[in-house]
Structure 1
Amino acid sequence: MFLQRPLYKDALHLFRFFCLILWLLLTVYITGFAGIAENYILSFAMMAGAFVGSATPVGGGVVAFPVLTFIKQIPAKEAAVFCLAMQSFGMSASSLAIFTHKLPVDKFLITWCVITSFLGYLLALFYIPNPFSSAGLKVFFSSFWLAFGAAIFLVRRKQTIRRTVALTRVNGWRLLLFIAICFAGGIVTSWIGNGIDVVFFCVLILMFSRTESVATPSAVIVMALISLLATVLNISAGNVNMQTLTYLSATIPVVIIFAPLGILFSVRHGDAFIRKLLLALVIIQYLFTAVAFFRQLDYLLLSMLVIALSFILLFAIGCIDKRKAV
């Protein structure tokens, strides 16, 4: 216990130290410091991205993916690989902050989600290519995230739920549906570098009556574990190229600092704050998408269809749990 207590308290600091050593080796011997100067926009973007991506269940990839695909003009597949690699640092740092501050999480559902979503990721990586263009993908998920944020806000704005992880019993059929949804979330994550965190948060809130203060750190841990597993897989498959490493050299110091701040800040301010921050974030990113793409009627119609179907799906999931707030 004498040795474990200081190590337990300093886990996040030790992780940051080793990340900085790795970053220094990467920058000095592989990418060079010029890559940091060339990608300063990405570094600044990920200051906000790491903070809000950890403070809400949308992940840092929700900022990194559009920056890379629309400003840097890199392919969506390469952007997804970077998002996962970047989140393996930022979300892992956030997970250690959750661990050291003993924030409540749903360990049982986290375990099932990580297993099934990683299987979905594996399947999509090798057998299910992304069916959308970069623009279509952005419109699709911006619309889904808007519906998701609005649905959570509308469903929970008048509820008072106890901060617990044991409100709703996880029975057989409910678990099977949960597994199927997480499997689909893993497929989405292979396309855009995040998504399972949003799906997991949504199901915890709407199907299992978890609070935002429990669901958010739980979603962060899921995204950290999936990002780590996916990044190891991408490295072994040769999907991590020099450009991805250059982007990492510009973002690792940023995300390991700002991501833990986000989760601690949001949980400290409570469930209502998380809902409002989430809604504000999805509205802002949807407005940017609208300005960029809705001059084309096809994208506008796609957005309207996705929002309508997403509301139906999300409220159907919410109706599964008929328990009233206590």
Structure 2
Amino acid sequence: MPSSRRPLLPWFLWLGVFYAVWLGIVLVGNHGHTVREHLGIAIAMIFGSYCAGATPMGGGTVGFPILVLLFGEPATLGRDFSFAIQSIGMTSASILIACRRQPVEWPMLRWAVLGSLIGTPFGILFIAPHVPSLFIKLLFAVVWCSFGVLHLYRLREITRHEGLAPGAHRFDRTAGLMIGLFAGSGVAALTGVGIDMVIYAVLVLLCQADLKIAIPTSVILMAANSVIGVATKSLTSGFQPGVFENWLAAAPIVALGAPLGAFVVDKIGRTPTLYGVSVLCIVQFLWTLRDEWSQLGGLGLLGGIAGVLTFNAGFEILHRVGARFDRRGLRGDSDPDESRLAPADPD
């Protein structure tokens, strides 16, 4: 193997193991017809996996609305599918991130993963069973519409960030732990996605982080959170009917698609992709309102709009606090970024 490809050897090994196991499942279980019957979700996840690697939005961001809004499946299936498919695609992208030694905000990430180890299982076991399907759909629509709106009016500023704002290191433990606990239990446990976008928002708004730091960090957190979700569902209530069949069709797509998304976006830039995905986030919100109008009515419409406004008010508060630290030039040491953003974490 050429020396330039040797750092990618762990990723190639992961792909080899995954495709061998996947092929074994298909052949031994005679699931060829299952894959053919679910080609629709596989095709949709070509774009979904690209988003997973190129943006801070997991593949479930596409998988959930496709299954729930287009195919008419229950929201609980969309959630479980998001966990299952991201445990492959986002893990594959995370391994590639580590092999390429991309900068990652390890201190906050470490605490966020720790928080999600508690928050996500708690949400799956004790909150999700009591939440109506309609609320899950609306929550998903509101969260992603909020991030779409955020990018449409803040993206130009966000793309100019370099490194981290001085003083940002003060938030590592508290912010990371709160993200894991509250976004894990209140968003990811219900929709299967979202914790990645929360840490991304904290990094780019509060910490004024470079997208080259924020997006890889969000990808790794979503991978870890998805694995936690899959483990929790497997050991407790199990997955919704239909998750395995859709996963079997889409998994070989996302194993390559998410990492390739990260590669492609390095060539064409993140701005066009983020603008496009942001518009789609707003479109799916409007689609959800139209699709569920008979149940939502005027009160549901007002609740959805209020949710979007509330999330963006929170984003604005994060932005203002982050800008204040940036202006003050608060820095705890001479050059904290070198140690904080190391591509490998020896601890």
- Measured against the shorter chain, the TM-score band is 0.7 to 0.9
Which of the numbers 174, 177, 183 marks the counterpart of 1:176?
Answer: 174
Supply the distance in 1 between the matched residues of 2:190 and 2:247 (Cα, whole angstroms). Answer: 19
% of aligned pairs identical? 24
Tell me, yes or no, if structure 1 residue 38 matches structure 2 residue 1: no
TM-score (norm 1): 0.88
Map 1:7-18; keep pairs closer than 5 Å.
8-18=7-17
Query: Corresponding residue for 2:195?
Result: 196
Q: 1:142 to 1:75 in 2, by over 3 A?
A: closer
State the 1:155 CA deviation. Answer: 3.4
TM-score by length of structure 2 reads 0.83
Query: In the comparison of the two structures, how many residue pairs are matched?
Result: 324
Letter paired with 1:312? A
Q: Evaluate the alpha carbon distance shift between residue 31 and residue 286 of structure 1 in structure 2; reply closer, same or farther with a 3 A threshold.
A: farther
The aligned counterpart of 2:315 is: 314
* Equivalent in the alignment of 1:298: 299
Q: Is the 8 A contact 2:138 2:288 kept in 1?
A: yes
2:110 maps to 111
Which blocks of at least 5 consecutive residues in structure 2 are unaligned? Answer: 330-347
Look up the SS of the partner of 2:242 in the other structure.
helix
Q: Distance in 2 between matches of 1:277 and 1:190?
A: 27
Q: Which amino acid aligns with 1:47?
A: I
- Whether 1:140 and 2:123 are equivalent positions in the alignment is no
Between stretches 259-268 and 73-82, larger displacement belongs to: 73-82
User: Aligned-pair RMSD on alpha carbons?
Assistant: 2.8
Query: Cα distance 1:145–1:168, how it changes in 2: closer, same or farther (>3 A)?
Result: farther
Which of 182, 185, 201 aligns to 2:183? It is 185
Q: Determine the structure 1 residue equivalent to 2:100.
A: 101
- The 8 Å contact of residues 39 and 250 in structure 1, kept in 2 or not, is answered as yes
Relative distance call for 1:271 and 1:78 in structure 2 (3 A) is closer
Would the aligned equivalents of 1:266 and 1:273 in 2 still touch at CA under 8 Å? Answer: no
Partners of 1:194 and 1:97 lie apart in 2 by 21
Give the structure 1 partner of residue 23 of structure 2.
24
Are residue 83 (structure 1) and residue 82 (structure 2) matched? yes
- 8 Å Cα contact 1:197-1:219 kept in structure 2: yes
* Gaps in structure 1 of 5+ consecutive residues: none
> Helix, strand or coil for the counterpart of 2:256?
helix
Please say if residues 7 and 99 of structure 2, whose CA atoms lie closer than 8 Å, have aligned partners that are also in contact. Answer: yes
> Counterpart of 2:233 in structure 1: which amino acid?
N
SS at match of 2:29: helix
Q: Is the 8 A contact 1:106 1:165 kept in 2?
A: no
Q: Indicate how the Cα distance of structure 1 residues 11 and 90 shifts in structure 2: closer, same or farther if over 3 A, else same.
A: same
Q: Cα–Cα, structure 1 residues 24 and 276, in superposed 2: closer, same or farther, change >3 Å?
A: same
Is contact 2:168-2:325 (8 Å) kept?
no
Tell whether the 8 Å contact from 1:212 to 1:275 is kept in structure 2 after alignment. no
**C-alpha contact 1:161 1:210 (8 A) present in aligned 2:** no
Q: What letter corresponds to residue 100 of structure 1 in structure 2? A: C
Aligned to 1:125: 124
- The residue type paired with residue 48 of structure 1 is F
